Amino acid sequence: MSDIIEKVIEQDYKYGFVTDIEQDTLPPGLNEDVIRTISRIKNEPEFMLEWRLKSYRQWLTMEEPTWAKVRYPEIDYQAISYYSAPKKKELNSLDEVDPDLLDTYNKLGIPLEEQKMLSGVAVDAVFDSVSVATTFKSELEKHGVIFCPFSEAVQNHPELIQKYLGSVVPHSDNYFSALNSAVFTDGSFVYIPKGVRCPMELSTYFRINAAKTGQFERTLIVADEGSYVSYLEGCTAPMRDENQLHAAVVELVAHKDASIKYSTVQNWYPGDPKTGKGGIYNFVTKRGTCLEENAKISWTQVETGSAITWKYPSCILKGDNSVGEFYSVALTNNFQQADTGTKMIHLGKNTKSTIISKGISAGKGQQTYRGGVQIMKNAEKARNYSQCDSMLIGEQCGAHTFPYIDVRNSSAQMEHEASTSSIGEDQIYYCNQRGISTEDAVSLIVNGFCKEVFKELPMEFAVEAQKLMEVSLEGAVG
């Protein structure tokens, strides 16, 4: 086994390259002027600037949290440039897109044209901070669905932005979300009107490109009464020696009978395999609220990248009978560290939540599941089921499970289960006996381990996720 593990540790990041495009970049540093400049470049209405400044002032009073079980050198927030955009703007069609940029996507295996024709997926591609191409817009417009870059939404639908921005993750929520609220440059906005079932899966490809540019994305999805939307998010980033900070905020709002499915495949640069140098810091705040009855929010994530992941997609189950789900596969290899999990807050009656978390730790990877389940006083008959399993591959990795369970209502039913183990020698032996090589056997076992989560992903993503697991563990586990 050990030489197989060696092999995966030696695996290089396949998507490491830098695209040469000129960028409009603000000099590094953060102060109120920078925020005013960002707001001016974005041509934002007054309320946005005020909100940004309010967040910034709040951020100044806050301290960087240290409770997560991750270690990293101190971040110099003044050394980061808070705005960077490709020079060409206002593109009408794909032909106008910088060929270099298109090439980048092609290298990543996401040719826009092909996707446009074949997959039926509308892609809002984010290249650094400004969205440069949006497809399938007209199809969506027919149904009244709004799916556009955040900056566009601020111009065209300020009333929706003003109503929902910060309604789930307030500007003062935590250190990184406050920073994001102050300096975010773009992201995606989705609004599904009453009773509409979004005709296609919506997706964004994130990509971090410019050196020393922190990426601060803001995603806001609002599903009005009786609507349904499935949103896909996937990302890869080029190889780089300096750590890149990524502090995104995702807010989901589900009204009565609405349902939101949010899926993520994350494969950012995890840092140099030998030294752990470089790699992305992924400090994300994701939260959804089931505002009214029968709403449903489902998070699915496959996390294989980033040097450090610090992420807890959460659900606030406010409406009666609302449902929250969290399905996660997280892989840490080499020097990666992940502190991830979820928070389910039961406020309404008959609310239900399910947590399925699968962690795989290899090499020197350190992984922590940190989850909170709170059943509040009025959450009659609330129900939670949590299962967190960890798999350890290699002698130097670690897997930790820290659930926080609060029950304040006696009619609640709350179950939590977790296990940690390695792949058994006998399991491998059994497969070997049947003519399956050790690598294939490990792959088989890992895939079986993650199956419960993969089956929750939309079809296109499920294939990608399985491929990603294979690539990430190739040699190590098959």
- 129 is a contact residue toward another protein (CB under 8 A): no
- 106 is a contact residue toward another protein (CB under 8 A): no
| Closest to 252 in 3D by CA, of 216, 220, 229 | 220
Task: Count CB-CB contacts under 10 A for residue 15.
Answer: 20
Hey, what are 385's tokens?
A: 């089921």
Cα–Cα distance measured from residue 36 to residue 46, given in angstroms and rounded to the nearest whole number: 10
Contact call for residues 355 and 384 (beta carbons, < 8 A): yes
Contacts to another protein from residues 356-395, by CB under 8 A: 390, 392-395
**Considering beta carbons, is residue 19 or 384 the nearer one to another protein?**
384
Cα–Cα distance measured from residue 303 to residue 330, given in angstroms and rounded to the nearest whole number: 5
How many residues make contact with another protein (CB under 8 A)?
33
- 422 is a contact residue toward another protein (CB under 8 A): yes
**Considering beta carbons, is residue 262 or 310 the nearer one to another protein?**
310
Task: Count CB-CB contacts under 10 A for residue 377.
Answer: 8
- 17 is a contact residue toward another protein (CB under 8 A): no
Cα–Cα distance measured from residue 351 to residue 88, given in angstroms and rounded to the nearest whole number: 48
Q: Write the interaction track for another protein spanning residues 59-78; mark x where CB under 8 A is met and - where it is not.
A: --------x-----------
- 397 is a contact residue toward another protein (CB under 8 A): yes
- 429 is a contact residue toward another protein (CB under 8 A): no
Task: Count CB-CB contacts under 10 A for residue 433.
Answer: 8
**Considering beta carbons, is residue 45 or 403 the nearer one to another protein?**
403
**Considering beta carbons, is residue 244 or 350 the nearer one to another protein?**
350
Q: Which DSSP letter does residue 118 get?
A: I
Q: Which DSSP letter does residue 95 get?
A: G
Segment interacting with another protein, rule: CB under 8 A, options 78-86, 195-203, 313-321, 418-426: 418-426
Helix segments in 62-191, DSSP class H: 99-108, 112-114, 137-142, 150-156, 158-164, 175-183
Give how far Cα 81 sits from Cα of 339, 387, 451, Å: 26, 41, 40
Segment interacting with another protein, rule: CB under 8 A, options 195-203, 275-283, 399-407, 458-466: 399-407
| Pairing mode, strands 186-192 and 146-149 | antiparallel
- 399 is a contact residue toward another protein (CB under 8 A): yes
- 23 is a contact residue toward another protein (CB under 8 A): no
- 420 is a contact residue toward another protein (CB under 8 A): yes
- 410 is a contact residue toward another protein (CB under 8 A): yes
Write down the least CB distance from residue 476 to another protein, Å.
13
Write down the least CB distance from residue 417 to another protein, Å.
5
Residue choice 404, 430, 451, 455 for contact with another protein (CB under 8 A): 404
Write down the least CB distance from residue 319 to another protein, Å.
21
Write down the least CB distance from residue 427 to another protein, Å.
13
Contact call for residues 82 and 30 (beta carbons, < 8 A): yes
- 437 is a contact residue toward another protein (CB under 8 A): no
CA dihedral sign, ordered 86, 91, 93, 96: negative
Contact call for residues 25 and 83 (beta carbons, < 8 A): yes
Segment interacting with another protein, rule: CB under 8 A, options 89-97, 293-301, 410-418, 463-471: 410-418
Residue choice 87, 275, 415, 429 for contact with another protein (CB under 8 A): 415
Write down the least CB distance from residue 174 to another protein, Å.
16
CA-derived radius of gyration, the chain: 22
Hey, what are 45's tokens?
A: 């209405």
**Considering beta carbons, is residue 111 or 403 the nearer one to another protein?**
403
| Closest to 421 in 3D by CA, of 399, 443, 445, 444 | 399
- 32 is a contact residue toward another protein (CB under 8 A): no
Residue choice 65, 79, 417, 429 for contact with another protein (CB under 8 A): 417
- 317 is a contact residue toward another protein (CB under 8 A): no
Segment interacting with another protein, rule: CB under 8 A, options 22-30, 341-349, 400-408, 469-477: 400-408
Instruction: Give the number of C-alpha atoms closer than 13 A to the C-alpha of residue 117, restricted to the C-beta side.
Output: 4
- 113 is a contact residue toward another protein (CB under 8 A): no
Partner residues linked to 346 by β-bridges:
317, 375
Question: Using CB under 8 A as the criterion, which residues of the chain lie in contact with another protein when the complex forms?
Answer: 67, 390, 392-422
